[in-house]
Structure 1
Amino acid sequence: MFMKSTKQPRPRRQRLRGLARGAGRALALPGRLAGRNVDITLALVAALLFSIAWPTLPLTNAVTPSLLPVVALWEVGPLLLARARPLLAWGLALAVGVGFWASRSALPDWPMPWPVVYFLVLLALLVGVCLRAPWPEVLIAIGGTGAVFGVVLDGDLKNWAWGQAVLAIVALLVRWLILSRRQLAREAELGEVERARRAVLEERSMIARELHDVVAHHMSLIVVQAQSAPYRLADVDAATREEFTSIERSARAALTEVRGVLGVLRSDEGERLVAPVPGGGDVASLLASAQAAGMPLTWDALPPTLGDVPAAVGLAAYRIVQESLSNASRHAPGEACHVRIDADEEALHLFVANAIGADSLPAEGGGGSGLLGMRTRAEAVGGDLTAGREADRWQVSARLPLAGGRPAGA
């Protein structure tokens, strides 16, 4: 039997966004690990600079020996915030520098008001802001650093105000390069997704053509032959005429469903249905049609709520009963078949049993894919299905949870 999807249609852009979100979730853990590695690296660099700043601080600035570790920690401490809060780290470092300049004078032989370690830390934090922060924060960092350099530094050292601007421009160029590479990678990924989508559509179009050329063509011939047989053949009685009419109705119904499958395969969205999808409410007409076709079929009273089950569950129930009846008529023709369907608050229970001869049915796993298709449909709505020989009969039993599908009419 042919299977049609019951999922809601999703436009092309939504599918691409879904794939992008799936890729983002797949990369989330490596991203967190990379951020943790950066934090560890910054901590190690800060520890190294702290070990350098402590002993060298008395060589550049007049600092009380008891305050050496504290001042050294102030110099390198903002580095620990460089990844998470780059602007805050830069602001803290700049405030430390201004306070240090106002309270601690440099030694006569040292031309700068700050130790070398602090100077390197401040420039590194400026680069971090240029690489990671939003553009308004980048402008604040460049302007603030240039203003402080222009006020604090003397003589030729004022050129550092321009030097930090050049450094910031280089950092911004690196940022642009990184972002452009990432954008190219995203475009390449979307291109791969689009190529895969086109390949799928081409494959589905090929399958649709094959179905149309083979199945739909022959089903149309069956309809025409069954419709014209009473007029082409002599001495056709009323019972035979009714049999031809039943064959015509069954062939037309099958042709309609094949056209629905063709509509799904040819649709760019992949979910549009040309023909209505059968559900729980159509099981009664399915049983009546099989009985009218001459199958020795009986069934218990159907649950009154069968037509109100979720659409996915109703479709699964219809297809399981349909496939079970098809198997019974094909492998055990003329044998009695019985159908029972029960429903409670949690699930729909299907039971189809038919009498068989000594070797009427193949063992499970042999022959076609009908049993696998029924089991797949049951599992798709969260249920389960068993099929096998029990004494002198073959039976199919399925449980379909009512929570496994969306409400009918959704």
Structure 2
Amino acid sequence: MSSRWPVGRAGIWAALGVGALLVLTSTDLGQHYQLPIGAAFALGVMRALALALVWLRPPWALPVSLATSVLTAIVCVPVSPDEAWPWPVTGVFGHSLVLAFSGARGATGLGVGGAWASSRWVLGGWWVVTQLVGVVGMALAPERGSWAGLLTMALLSAVAVVVADLVRSRADARQQLLEQEEISAAERAQRARWQERARIARELHDVVAHHLSVVVVRADSAPHRLTGLPADAREEFAGIAEDARASLTEMRRVLRLLRENPSSGRADSELGPQPGLADLEELIATTRRAGADVRLEVESSADLDPAVELTAYRVVQEAVSNAVRHAPGAVVEVRVRRIGGELIVSVVNGPVDAAVASGSGHGLIGMRERVGLLDGRLHAARTADGGYRVEAVLPAERGVE
């Protein structure tokens, strides 16, 4: 999280908000409370400073705002019973703004090791402390205000906490989506490297290994085909055959290394559980928290080969990611069902926004390749209403190669 003033229009709006809060607080305290104009201006500066610290020094914003509220309650005496106390109107709005912006930016306090603590529990704790300040103020000076006057701060600050938590959750969900897209891109790159290695292995097997085998056969058979060969010539052919066999053995070892997929779960690969259909709920929940309307229906996921589950998960991940990018605001329907010996995975979204539907197509290519490795089928096409449908049909029986 950055600790600097926002740039562009956001910076202008932030400056206007800080300036407006300074003017309104100074005017409010100077007119409606028994306070000299200098003291009112000083409290206005503190109130505006608390809002500015949300960007400049995030961990200090809420403490300074709450300290300003306490100091205001101590020195301000209402000119009439109609004036709010211990929370002046500008104090209610100013502190609620600081609470909302701090929570939305995850700057509600300092966590372990200096990391920002963006937990909703920390944000709720600040709300509780705020209300306790008002209760203590009323208990110490009940003649200045009324208990009912505390409700305004309680309600408005509660709204600020809820809004801040929603904004922060949405930002976290979007960040998780970006991370998932980066993972998908990394997997596509890794798959491309694996396919290139497999192509090289095929070339070596079909060309080089074949010719080496021919050399072995010809060298072994030369003494029988050619009569009258001297002993040293026979030994030379035997040596050639032996060297060719050794080269062929080394060639086969190289072919095994080239054909060994680093993501296949072998001892030299990265260890860790692969996602399956049971993880689709979390995947979809993350997408929903980003604001997308995604609906999931899984009818059967029992007794499936892990490779089938992983492929189904990746198809849903890529298709939903494409739908969120190319059809913002559209409903995305994900359905996984088993019919006989086949697992059918379908992802359908509403009309695609032509202005953003300009992807490279690598995601669809990657899905086709992944499904093809299991001898499955993938169909992707526009729907009649201008949306898009991706459907993968995978073998559901165990023992998938």
1:258 to 244, 247, 251: 251
State the secondary structure of the residue aligned to 2:6.
Answer: helix
CA distance in 2, matches of 1:244, 1:36: 81
Contact 2:87 2:150 in 1 (8 A): no
Q: For residue 60 of structure 1, what is the aligned residue in structure 2?
A: 32
2:92 to 119, 128, 132: 119
Contact 1:87 1:141 in 2 (8 A): no
Structure 2: gaps of 5 or more residues: 109-116, 138-144, 269-401
Identity of aligned residues (%): 33
Q: For residue 247 of structure 1, what is the aligned residue in structure 2?
A: 240
1:142 to 127, 135, 138: 127
2:6 to 37, 52, 68: 37
Contact 2:103 2:123 in 1 (8 A): yes
Q: Which amino acid aligns with 1:127?
A: A
1:203 to 196, 205, 217: 196
CA distance in 2, matches of 1:137, 1:88: 15
CA distance in 2, matches of 1:166, 1:50: 23
Shift of 1:145: 1.7
Q: For residue 216 of structure 1, what is the aligned residue in structure 2?
A: 209
CA distance in 2, matches of 1:98, 1:255: 85
2:44 to 53, 60, 72: 72
Give the direction of change, closer, same or farther, for the CA distance of 1:157–1:75 in structure 2 (3 Å limit).
Answer: same
Indicate yes or no: 2:96 matched with 1:128.
no
Task: Note the alpha carbon deviations across 1:139-180, whole angstroms, 9 max, x for none.
Answer: 321211222344546244232213422331232222222222
4+ long deviations beyond 6 Å: none
Contact 1:226 1:247 in 2 (8 A): yes
Give the direction of change, closer, same or farther, for the CA distance of 1:243–1:84 in structure 2 (3 Å limit).
Answer: farther
CA distance in 2, matches of 1:36, 1:201: 46
Q: For residue 151 of structure 2, what is the aligned residue in structure 1?
A: 159
Shift of 1:35: 5.1
**What TM-score do the two structures reach when normalised by structure 2?**
0.52
Indicate yes or no: 2:74 matched with 1:81.
no
Give the direction of change, closer, same or farther, for the CA distance of 1:251–1:84 in structure 2 (3 Å limit).
Answer: farther
CA distance in 1, matches of 2:158, 2:45: 27
Structure 1: gaps of 5 or more residues: 1-30, 275-410
Indicate yes or no: 2:95 matched with 1:102.
no
Q: Which amino acid aligns with 2:37?
A: P
Contact 1:57 1:68 in 2 (8 A): yes
Q: CA RMSD in A?
A: 3.3
Contact 1:43 1:79 in 2 (8 A): no
Task: Note the alpha carbon deviations across 1:86-139, whole angstroms, 9 max, x for none.
Answer: 453212211221121112213325334444433222101211343313324223
User: Which aligned pairs between 1:255-404 and structure 2 lie closer than 5 A?
Assistant: 255-269=248-262
Contact 1:76 1:118 in 2 (8 A): no
Q: Which amino acid aligns with 2:100?
A: V
CA distance in 2, matches of 1:268, 1:84: 49
CA distance in 2, matches of 1:259, 1:168: 65
State the secondary structure of the residue aligned to 2:47.
Answer: helix
Give the direction of change, closer, same or farther, for the CA distance of 1:35–1:269 in structure 2 (3 Å limit).
Answer: farther
Q: Which amino acid aligns with 1:45?
A: G
Give the direction of change, closer, same or farther, for the CA distance of 1:163–1:249 in structure 2 (3 Å limit).
Answer: same
CA distance in 2, matches of 1:36, 1:163: 26
Give the direction of change, closer, same or farther, for the CA distance of 1:222–1:177 in structure 2 (3 Å limit).
Answer: same
Task: Note the alpha carbon deviations across 1:181-228, whole angstroms, 9 max, x for none.
Answer: 222222222123223322332332233123212211221221222123
Give the direction of change, closer, same or farther, for the CA distance of 1:244–1:139 in structure 2 (3 Å limit).
Answer: same
Size of the alignment, in residue pairs? 242
Q: Which amino acid aligns with 2:258?
A: L
CA distance in 2, matches of 1:257, 1:47: 77
Q: For residue 335 of structure 1, what is the aligned residue in structure 2?
A: none
Q: Which has the higher contact order (CA 8 A, sep 6+)?
A: 1
Q: Which amino acid aligns with 2:151?
A: N
Q: Which amino acid aligns with 1:110?
A: E
Give the direction of change, closer, same or farther, for the CA distance of 1:56–1:166 in structure 2 (3 Å limit).
Answer: closer
User: Which aligned pairs between 1:164-243 and structure 2 lie closer than 5 A?
Assistant: 164-243=157-236
Contact 1:61 1:106 in 2 (8 A): yes
